[in-house]
């Protein structure tokens, strides 16, 4: 069994019992964290642990890897393709025509492109809702990252039953694959694209498969108006009335939630993926994060797809979460640095149903990131590692990324991915996709 001893670093464990351990050490055996040691424990721990490869983290910070709790990975192909447009114009005129022309291989390469970017910025787990999900799962399996995957299901149009069937097959085929790195959920897209009868079918399938749900919820004012007009309920109330929250549920966005909605989310233990960058860029609004946290809602952070962000950098979402709620609420104590970091680590892990990750604790899965810290101008003079990570660090500071006990990125080199080939294929496929879409538009 492969073992690593990570030594001499400052551990930001996100374990509430022992938050920051300067000069600590971590022993990884196989897929898991075997020991987390403070400085004294590390000093007396035999450095001659036979067979353990030493990783010297002197002058560096060791953190749990970030969890990207909501996104559509392959949409990296559409990064900066269409920006600064109203949501429906952006979707209907620019994004959907491209998505209609997507081929399975596009999704495979687009997902690999997203994984390059996510690993380089310290993300070790991502939640994903898209289509051609076999391709996404294949990319996760090959790359070594952890993925919480679902086929996004729209309940209208031709044959929604086919999407349920695909989802069931996807869950049966992929759940637990990749040494357990792949977990699966059902993915009803949103209350405005899935009528109640369809959501009830989804719930039936959920009971049969015993998997969680991912859904978009209360993203825009338009969605709230639509639900009120059609069902005389808010989106949260509607989904609750259908008993969907009896399943473990991850609800993305929750921008437009009333105090009553927040009570429901908390009482039903619904997890929320807060996507500050995407919500700002699409002008959806600003979710009441402080109020959700106060109510005890489990919240993670997500980037959403790269076409509405336009990047997959979790440090940026952490910073946005820490900054915007202070400005909007006029309270400089809102979402302090440590809370923002929780959202991206232990909070995100709980949000995506993986309580076995998200902190550096003995027995947990070894998903971690080492950041450069000492000797970095924009982090000097190193007064406070948590504040420095939240308010000043960037992807350039990522030194090493480990998922499931395997080193996937070190010294800017990927161990399992061919970066050049992925860049080549994604550019080639994007060009072909654009010309297919242009051809369709003419026809």
Instruction: Looking at residues 275 to 294 of the shown chain, list those that interact with a second copy (rule: CB under 8 A).
Output: 277, 279-286
Q: Please tell me whether residue 80 binds a second copy under the rule CB under 8 A.
A: yes
Nearer to a second copy, 70 or 319 (CB): 319
In the chain, what's the furthest Cα-to-Cα distance? Answer: 73
**Smallest separation, CB 392 to a second copy (Å):** 4
Using the rule CB under 8 A, which residue among 328, 355, 438, 439 binds a second copy? 328
HEC sequence for 373-422: CCCCHHHCCCCCHHHHHHHCCCHHHEEEEEECCEEEEECCEECCCCHHHH
Angle between helices 133-143 and 104-120 (to 10 degrees): 40
Nearer to a second copy, 116 or 139 (CB): 116
* Contact between 140 and 178 (Cβ < 8 Å): yes
Q: Using the rule CB under 8 A, give the single segment among 76-84, 144-152, 188-196, 242-250 that binds a second copy.
A: 76-84
Q: Please tell me whether residue 219 binds a second copy under the rule CB under 8 A.
A: no
Using the rule CB under 8 A, which residue among 310, 345, 357, 404 binds a second copy? 310
Using the rule CB under 8 A, which residue among 4, 11, 15, 90 binds a second copy? 90
CA neighbor of 81 nearest in space, from 89, 72, 90, 73: 90
Using the rule CB under 8 A, which residue among 137, 244, 312, 369 binds a second copy? 312
**Smallest separation, CB 322 to a second copy (Å):** 8
* Contact between 124 and 161 (Cβ < 8 Å): no
Round to whole Å and give the CA distance between 57 and 6.
6
Nearer to a second copy, 125 or 307 (CB): 307
Using CB under 8 A as the binding rule, the residues of this chain from 229 to 248 that contact a second copy are none
Task: List the x/- string, 423-442, binding to a second copy by CB under 8 A.
Answer: x--xx--x------------
- Read off the tokens for 180: 């357990």
* Contact between 301 and 348 (Cβ < 8 Å): yes
Contact residues for 17 (Cβ-Cβ < 8 A; gap 6+): none
- Read off the tokens for 144: 């070594």
Burial class for 313, CB neighbours closer than 10 Å (0-12, 13-18, 19+)? buried
Using the rule CB under 8 A, which residue among 196, 263, 311, 416 binds a second copy? 311
Nearer to a second copy, 86 or 260 (CB): 86
Using CB under 8 A as the binding rule, the residues of this chain from 108 to 167 that contact a second copy are 113, 116-117, 120-121
Q: Please tell me whether residue 347 binds a second copy under the rule CB under 8 A.
A: no
Q: Please tell me whether residue 76 binds a second copy under the rule CB under 8 A.
A: yes
Using CB under 8 A as the binding rule, the residues of this chain from 364 to 423 that contact a second copy are 375, 377-384, 387-388, 391-392, 394-396, 419-420, 422-423
* Contact between 347 and 314 (Cβ < 8 Å): no
**Smallest separation, CB 299 to a second copy (Å):** 18
**Smallest separation, CB 366 to a second copy (Å):** 24
The number of residues that bind a second copy (CB under 8 A) is 73
**Smallest separation, CB 380 to a second copy (Å):** 6
Round to whole Å and give the CA distance between 144 and 138.
10
Using the rule CB under 8 A, which residue among 35, 326, 372, 416 binds a second copy? 326
Nearer to a second copy, 17 or 330 (CB): 330
The strand pairing partners of 398, in sequence order, are 371
Round to whole Å and give the CA distance between 40 and 165.
55
CA neighbor of 122 nearest in space, from 139, 145, 138: 145
Using the rule CB under 8 A, which residue among 333, 441, 442, 443 binds a second copy? 333
CA neighbor of 221 nearest in space, from 231, 234, 230, 232: 234
Nearer to a second copy, 3 or 432 (CB): 432
**Smallest separation, CB 63 to a second copy (Å):** 16
Using the rule CB under 8 A, which residue among 91, 323, 410, 432 binds a second copy? 323
**Smallest separation, CB 77 to a second copy (Å):** 6
* Contact between 20 and 360 (Cβ < 8 Å): no
CA neighbor of 313 nearest in space, from 301, 328, 327, 300: 301
The strand pairing partners of 20, in sequence order, are 12
Q: Is 122 left (phi over 0), alpha (psi -120 to 50) or beta?
A: left
Using the rule CB under 8 A, which residue among 3, 20, 87, 410 binds a second copy? 87
């Amino acid at each position: 069994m492969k073992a690593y001893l990570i030594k001499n670093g400052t551990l930001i464990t996100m374990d509430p019992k022992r938050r920051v351990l300067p000069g600590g050490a971590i022993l990884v055996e196989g897929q898991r964290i075997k020991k987390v040691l403070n400085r004294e424990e590390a000093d007396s721990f035999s450095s001659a642990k036979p067979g353990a490869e030493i990783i010297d983290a002197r002058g560096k910070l060791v953190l749990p890897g970030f969890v990207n709790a909501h996104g559509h990975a392959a949409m990296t192909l559409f990064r900066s393709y269409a920006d600064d447009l109203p949501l429906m114009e952006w979707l209907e005129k620019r994004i959907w025509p491209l998505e209609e022309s997507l081929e399975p291989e596009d999704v495979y390469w687009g997902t690999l492109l997203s994984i390059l970017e996510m690993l380089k910025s310290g993300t070790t787990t991502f939640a994903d809702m898209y289509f051609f999900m076999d391709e996404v799962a294949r990319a996760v399996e090959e790359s070594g990252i952890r993925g919480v995957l679902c086929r996004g299901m729209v309940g209208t149009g031709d044959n929604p039953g086919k999407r349920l069937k695909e989802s069931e097959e996807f869950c049966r085929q992929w759940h637990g694959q990749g040494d357990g790195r792949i977990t699966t959920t059902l993915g009803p897209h949103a209350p405005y694209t899935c009528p109640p009868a369809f959501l009830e079918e989804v719930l039936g399938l959920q009971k049969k498969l015993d998997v969680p749900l991912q859904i978009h919820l209360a993203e825009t004012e338009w969605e709230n108006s639509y639900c009120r007009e059609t069902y005389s309920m808010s989106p949260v109330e509607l989904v609750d009335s259908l008993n969907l929250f009896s399943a473990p549920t991850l609800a993305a966005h929750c921008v437009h939630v009333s105090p009553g909605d927040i009570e429901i989310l908390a009482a039903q233990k619904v997890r929320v993926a807060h996507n500050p960058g995407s919500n700002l860029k699409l002008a959806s609004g600003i979710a009441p994060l402080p109020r959700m946290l106060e109510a005890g809602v489990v919240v993670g952070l997500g980037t959403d797809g790269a076409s509405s962000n336009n990047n997959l950098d979790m440090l940026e979402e952490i910073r946005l979460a820490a900054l915007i709620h202070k400005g909007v609420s006029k309270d400089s104590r809102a979402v302090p640095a440590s809370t923002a970091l929780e959202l991206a680590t232990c909070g995100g892990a709980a949000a995506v149903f993986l309580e076995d990750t998200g902190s550096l604790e003995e027995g947990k899965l070894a998903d971690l990131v080492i950041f450069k810290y000492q000797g970095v101008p924009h982090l000097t003079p190193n007064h406070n590692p948590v504040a420095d990570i939240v308010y000043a660090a960037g992807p350039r500071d990522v030194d090493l990324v480990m998922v499931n006990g395997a080193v996937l990125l070190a010294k800017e080199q990927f161990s399992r991915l061919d970066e050049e080939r992925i860049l080549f294929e994604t550019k080639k496929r994007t060009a072909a996709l654009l010309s297919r879409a242009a051809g369709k538009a003419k026809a």
